[in-house]
Amino acid sequence: MIIVLKSDATQAQIDHIVERITKLGLKPLVSKGVERTIIGVIGPEDILRVTPLEVFPGVENVMPVLTPYKLAARDFKTEGTTIKLGGNLVIGARKVIVMAGPCAIENLDNLYEIAKAVKKAGATVLRGGAFKPRTSPYSFQGLGEEGLKYLSQVGKELGLATVTEVMDTRDIALVERYADILQIGARNMQNFNLLKEVGLTKKPILLKRGLSSTIKDLLMSAEYVLSGGNLNLMLCERGIRTFEDSTRNTLDISAVPVIKQLSHLPVIIDPSHAAGKWNLVSPLAKAGVAAGCDGLIIEVHSHPEEALSDGAQSLLPEKFSELMQELRILAKAVGREL
Amino acid sequence: MIIVLKSDATQAQIDHIVERITKLGLKPLVSKGVERTIIGVIGPEDILRVTPLEVFPGVENVMPVLTPYKLAARDFKTEGTTIKLGGNLVIGARKVIVMAGPCAIENLDNLYEIAKAVKKAGATVLRGGAFKPRTSPYSFQGLGEEGLKYLSQVGKELGLATVTEVMDTRDIALVERYADILQIGARNMQNFNLLKEVGLTKKPILLKRGLSSTIKDLLMSAEYVLSGGNLNLMLCERGIRTFEDSTRNTLDISAVPVIKQLSHLPVIIDPSHAAGKWNLVSPLAKAGVAAGCDGLIIEVHSHPEEALSDGAQSLLPEKFSELMQELRILAKAVGREL
Amino acid sequence: MIIVLKSDATQAQIDHIVERITKLGLKPLVSKGVERTIIGVIGPEDILRVTPLEVFPGVENVMPVLTPYKLAARDFKTEGTTIKLGGNLVIGARKVIVMAGPCAIENLDNLYEIAKAVKKAGATVLRGGAFKPRTSPYSFQGLGEEGLKYLSQVGKELGLATVTEVMDTRDIALVERYADILQIGARNMQNFNLLKEVGLTKKPILLKRGLSSTIKDLLMSAEYVLSGGNLNLMLCERGIRTFEDSTRNTLDISAVPVIKQLSHLPVIIDPSHAAGKWNLVSPLAKAGVAAGCDGLIIEVHSHPEEALSDGAQSLLPEKFSELMQELRILAKAVGREL
Amino acid sequence: MIIVLKSDATQAQIDHIVERITKLGLKPLVSKGVERTIIGVIGPEDILRVTPLEVFPGVENVMPVLTPYKLAARDFKTEGTTIKLGGNLVIGARKVIVMAGPCAIENLDNLYEIAKAVKKAGATVLRGGAFKPRTSPYSFQGLGEEGLKYLSQVGKELGLATVTEVMDTRDIALVERYADILQIGARNMQNFNLLKEVGLTKKPILLKRGLSSTIKDLLMSAEYVLSGGNLNLMLCERGIRTFEDSTRNTLDISAVPVIKQLSHLPVIIDPSHAAGKWNLVSPLAKAGVAAGCDGLIIEVHSHPEEALSDGAQSLLPEKFSELMQELRILAKAVGREL
């Protein structure tokens, strides 16, 4: 922690700060420059983080030196985390994992039809929402447990792992029973109770970045899950909120290499939610793979015109299949496979 | 709903859309312009909202005409909503209500000390967090039920109404038992289950705007509470996330008049969380009152240097008292009182 | 300047950095913490600012301690700057200055009509654009010198000071001849040649904040003007670009107290451009005065339906007159006058 | 243009609007819905765009149907624009063009050294700034004409085309004399006089997107250049300003496919300025090519530690060479070449 003092800070103010830091068991180092005095603090920064040094008289600015996350940090674990699903499926290894399926699970037949198509095209994880976070109380809210059953049944029958969102602490046990990967949605990225409790499960977690969350915020939320004991965590970039309105959100493609530098956790790209338009999904998926992501999660619907949710951003199965072929070539060109 | 077609849309595509709209029980009006054909749709827009018209071949753009919220709209209720608390306290009337207190409830003595000070200065609602949404799992997470007890006890003794945050659906009944106003925090503004369930209580709700939520999003979340039957709802602007980093968030002062135009719900300003710095609280509080807000929620702490949460943005009781005197004069100047 | 090293920085890397800093005539202070080594640098930071320390092997992060602006800083000049215009008009003193008039100067009669109305209502500076920065090449681009003549003529006849935008270095001498205050528009806030050259004039400058400029950026642009020798500079907050789309831009009301803390320069609020809608101008103008601004710049048009530019955000003269009466009372309530 | 009326709009108000539209030579179509009356306007929308319909009594909202840009639109020209430089160099064709070089031209030897390296690695255009837009007046401002001479000399000697920024209308003729491509920087994207006047030259123009400009804004600025008669225009995405602070700006990778859909102009990606850190340049460059860009512009410096500008984001020649090899394979995988 570096404490920058005001140009007119008095000696008494400096002494007061030094005394307080010493009392906390840390070691202050005062350096007087021409224009400013600076106090460096040596010792565990966490103790200081909860002390509001900014309000001490004479303080202008406080600059943390260490990252506030620990378990999520690359410093903590140099090698990339790999997450094993059933079969030979590993997330975070050479193979880029593709998760695909409808936004919402609507009925068994439709899910089965879509699942068969995405499996054929090469997807290995089936996505589908049973609990849907909808902006409007008047929109379709998902089938709930019935949807989970369909997902599990279709996944088993076709040999696909499954991923679905859990929105409520009360539903964790239920979702855990049916799905292989538990998704925490963007709107719940800072629902800290939910994070804590999925951190107590054994299931792999897919944590989506919030619309206005920095990468640091995302890693802090990751810390909630990891500190609960669940290390099977992957992070998902799905677009952030900006002033640009030609896409629903702005896919922050830099998040891929930045997270890879700061953390050991696998990174998934969601081009469907970022773009909000099916005809942008393909270029964004390719950009994700080229930038080094470990997986993609893509919305596919066999009848987008009839979809109960997010039809506008769903790929038709044949478009998805084309994309998979293109991605296969692309993945090889960047030293991965699909 | 207005559907703008592509310049090369075919007659078959137009017919397909018209047929679909008619089947939904709505009336399409096709106008062919020089450069574009446009289809206006007459009838309840909600039916169309769930139909992904953007994916129909030939469609370029779909523009909704009506607001997606209904109960929250000024059109639905022309007069401003007033919320009655105990005593003569009314939120949404001539008097600007001031809620003040510590960020987190730390212990009984400290809460009592702060509460006495804010009451003396003229606050009528005591704020204080028992469940704290903290970015880091290693930060103080609040006293839980013990904190609620202190809040209730101090509030009753001093004749102050109380407001505190509820973060989890499982805690609603508990918080309802102790507090007069239930706060939904910014990070939970789109925790839809939480919104639905506080909508089933009878207690007034203070709903904070999310960091990256548009005013329309906020009104959609309000709709969740209102459609549950709870009409005692007030909205709170507490800063949005922007690129500017000299303040923690950017107080969107325009939200006050914009919400007043679009909705009948009272608007509260939270200058403490918006600024993140105590020395900005006073000018922002004044700006809020001048812009027409119905209330303020302000963090006050008697020992900010020792505060367990948000010390940097807490006013000392004497600063708060000064501010209250200034606000009293200001409120009169804009036709309100404090 | 504080240089934070990587956790695996070698002694050779540290030595390399220390050597370089010493060669630049500065004094490095190395402190080895448990997790990180930090190098503090004592001496003029400007020398280091141009040295890309981030690329030195072993460096994780570089944190400047001092502000990069000097002449604009409150540290440089403790008292607020006051700018004297003709008559008794002073910007930056107790009186809040109101500048009003049409967006664009359209013709002499119309300008005269509006000017008479704003003068009667209490404005002391007449605004009006002769060179208009328009997003579309097909929009009205302003009357040029003819417009400047009208502005000067009407200003003189009615005893109003005048402010108008200069967009091009080649027009500075021309605009200087006719107007009392030269405005640099938001889109030119980082047109550095323009800044340098208006810094060489003697005329007061009104510098508008860019749509995506931080307050620090604004102060750096101010530095360009001040370092040219022109100290008659005022800054103008006119809304920044955010994701919120119910207003044209988001008025960053916190900019008023933040600039007042960081700098000695007067601050003007432009509620018209920030909101983009006439019916938000009044609450935003009031918020500006309550937050402590030194002046307002407001668009007024006698026939907004016919305005060639920005009609939607222009106040009718009678609305402007009402607002002025309300502001007069408000200004007194915050210790100012109008 | 679609005009949505307020729910309480009167017949007199409707008549007033209809009359005005008719007077402008356009055809109004009134449709009365259950909740709202809507007026569609048939005819050239440009006439209406300058009429502030929002201020007409009874109007709630005005929605344009057509894009405000014409010459830049894909509708205007279905095939992608190709720009021919000397030799066989074509921008906008199958080959992805790589422009590389130092941020600022510092001296002849250094430029020559870097230019040789980037040419060897496969770049075909040499970049280098002679006029530098610097946030601080105290930073190196570029060598001016001397720099242009070096750029031209080195370009000719090595057979590289050249690109450099022009910041001032007064320098256009000068820069035109020395460089093959004129760059308009992000900070000047809405310097409309500059746009108009480079639109009158014959040289290819590289127009960078402003930090807070939407894609629509960028296309409107393109319209300024095109309407001057210069059709040799390419657009450049270089990152937009968002709340994320782990990168200098946020590369909006979606801009590539979005611009390709809306416009016929070639798209260049600048990963160096977007990231602000050399170790993010490679993944972002790859993402750009995968998303379908027509070119890259990359900063390379042989001694980044000594660079006078932007050293932190410059690649070393050997890193650039590695990247070029990887891009060559990647380009093929997406049907392009390098």
CATH number of the domain residue B275 falls in: 3.20.20.70
What domain count does chain C have?
A: 2
pLDDT digits (tens, 9 = 90+) for A26-45: 888 888 877 788 888 877 66
Predicted confidence at residue C308, as pLDDT, reads 76
Residue in C with minimal Cα distance to A33: C42
CB A248 within 8 A of CB A310: no
pLDDT digits (tens, 9 = 90+) for C241-293: 999 999 999 999 999 999 999 999 999 999 999 999 999 999 999 999 999 99
Question: Considering only A313-317, B32-36, B166-170, B236-240, which range has the smallest mean pLDDT?
Answer: B32-36
Residue B71 lies in a domain: no
> Do A123 and A178 sit in the same domain of this protein?
yes
Residue A75 lies in a domain: no
D contact chains, 3+ CB pairs < 8 A? A, B, C
CB C129 within 8 A of CB C309: yes
Residue in D with minimal Cα distance to B5: D65
Quote the domain boundaries for residue D261.
Answer: 83-333
Predicted confidence at residue B310, as pLDDT, reads 74
Measured between alpha carbons, how far is D47 from D23 in angstroms, rounded to an integer?
11
Of the candidates D212, D221, D311, the beta carbon closest to that of C211 is on D212
Residue A338 lies in a domain: no
> Do D226 and D273 sit in the same domain of this protein?
yes
> Do C123 and C248 sit in the same domain of this protein?
yes
> Do B182 and B105 sit in the same domain of this protein?
yes
Q: Which residues contact D249 (CB under 8 A, 6 or more apart)?
A: D211, D238, D239, D240, D241, D242, D273, D274, D275, D276
**CATH no. for residue B55?**
3.30.70.1140
Reading the block at residue B86, the tokens are 């105990």
Number of other residues whose CB lies within 10 A of the CB of residue C283: 25
pLDDT digits (tens, 9 = 90+) for A143-192: 999 999 999 999 999 999 999 999 999 999 999 999 999 999 999 999 99
Reading the block at residue A147, the tokens are 């949807």
CB B32 within 8 A of CB B3: no
pLDDT digits (tens, 9 = 90+) for B16-27: 989 888 888 888
CB B140 within 8 A of CB B309: yes
Q: Which residues contact A311 (CB under 8 A, 6 or more apart)?
A: A103, A301, A304, A305, B51, B52, B54, B55
> Do B123 and B262 sit in the same domain of this protein?
yes
Q: Given D13, D32, D63, which residue is the final one in a domain?
A: D63
Q: C-alpha distances in angstroms, A202 versus A180, B159, C127? A: 10, 48, 66
Closest CA to D30 of D50, B61, D19, D57: D19
Of the candidates C245, C252, C283, the beta carbon closest to that of B291 is on C283
- The greatest distance separating any two alpha carbons of chain B, rounded to the nearest whole angstrom, comes to 76
> Do D44 and D183 sit in the same domain of this protein?
no
Q: C-alpha distances in angstroms, B126 versus B283, B287, B302, B313, D189? A: 21, 22, 14, 17, 50
Residue C69 lies in a domain: no
How far apart are the CA of C6 and the nearest CA of chain A, in angstroms? 10
Give chain B's count of helices (H) and strands (E). 11, 14
Of the candidates D2, D42, D242, the beta carbon closest to that of B2 is on D2
pLDDT band at C49 (very low <50, low <70, confident <90, very high): low
Give me the long-range contacts of A21-27 (CB less than 8 A, separation at least 24). Answer: A21/A48, A24/A48, A24/A51
Residue D286 lies in a domain: yes
Measured between alpha carbons, how far is C161 from C276 in angstroms, rounded to an integer?
25
Predicted confidence at residue A49, as pLDDT, reads 66
Q: How far apart are the first and last CA of chain A?
A: 44
Angle between helices C145-158 and C108-121 (to 10 degrees): 40
Measured between alpha carbons, how far is A160 from A180 in angstroms, rounded to an integer?
10
Predicted confidence at residue D49, as pLDDT, reads 66
Predicted confidence at residue C242, as pLDDT, reads 96
Residue B211 lies in a domain: yes
Predicted confidence at residue A35, as pLDDT, reads 75
> Do C97 and C243 sit in the same domain of this protein?
yes
Of the candidates C254, C262, C290, the beta carbon closest to that of B286 is on C290
pLDDT digits (tens, 9 = 90+) for D313-326: 899 999 999 999 99
> Do B184 and B304 sit in the same domain of this protein?
yes
CB B332 within 8 A of CB B306: no
DSSP letter for B43, please: S
C contact chains, 3+ CB pairs < 8 A? A, B, D
> Do B139 and B208 sit in the same domain of this protein?
yes
**Amino acid identity at D58:** G
pLDDT tops 80 at residue C232: yes
CB B122 within 8 A of CB B98: yes
For B270-328, give the DSSP string.
-HHHHH-SHHHHHHHHHHHHHHT-SEEEEEB-S-GGG-SS-GGGPBPHHHHHHHHHHHH
Measured between alpha carbons, how far is C328 from C95 in angstroms, rounded to an integer?
10
pLDDT digits (tens, 9 = 90+) for B297-313: 999 999 888 777 777 88
Q: C-alpha distances in angstroms, B274 versus B210, B297, D132? A: 11, 11, 36
How far apart are the CA of C59 and the nearest CA of chain B, in angstroms? 24
> Do D105 and D188 sit in the same domain of this protein?
yes
pLDDT digits (tens, 9 = 90+) for B196-230: 999 999 999 999 999 999 999 999 999 999 999 99
Low-confidence ranges of chain D (pLDDT < 50): none
Residue C261 lies in a domain: yes
pLDDT tops 80 at residue C309: no
pLDDT tops 70 at residue B50: no
pLDDT digits (tens, 9 = 90+) for A86-103: 878 999 999 999 999 999
Per DSSP, which regions of B131-204 are E strands? 161-165, 181-184
pLDDT tops 90 at residue C205: yes
**Amino acid identity at D92:** G
Residue B138 lies in a domain: yes
> Do D131 and D199 sit in the same domain of this protein?
yes
Label the pairing between strands C83-84 and C90-91. antiparallel
Residue in C with minimal Cα distance to A40: C31
Q: Which residues contact B12 (CB under 8 A, 6 or more apart)?
A: none
Question: Considering only A251-255, B309-313, C226-230, which range has the smallest mean pLDDT?
Answer: B309-313
Angle between helices B278-291 and C255-262 (to 10 degrees): 140
> Do D124 and D194 sit in the same domain of this protein?
yes
**Amino acid identity at C6:** K
Residue in B with minimal Cα distance to D73: B7
Tallying the residues shown for chain A, one arrives at: 338
Q: Do C50 and D210 touch (CB under 8 A)?
A: no
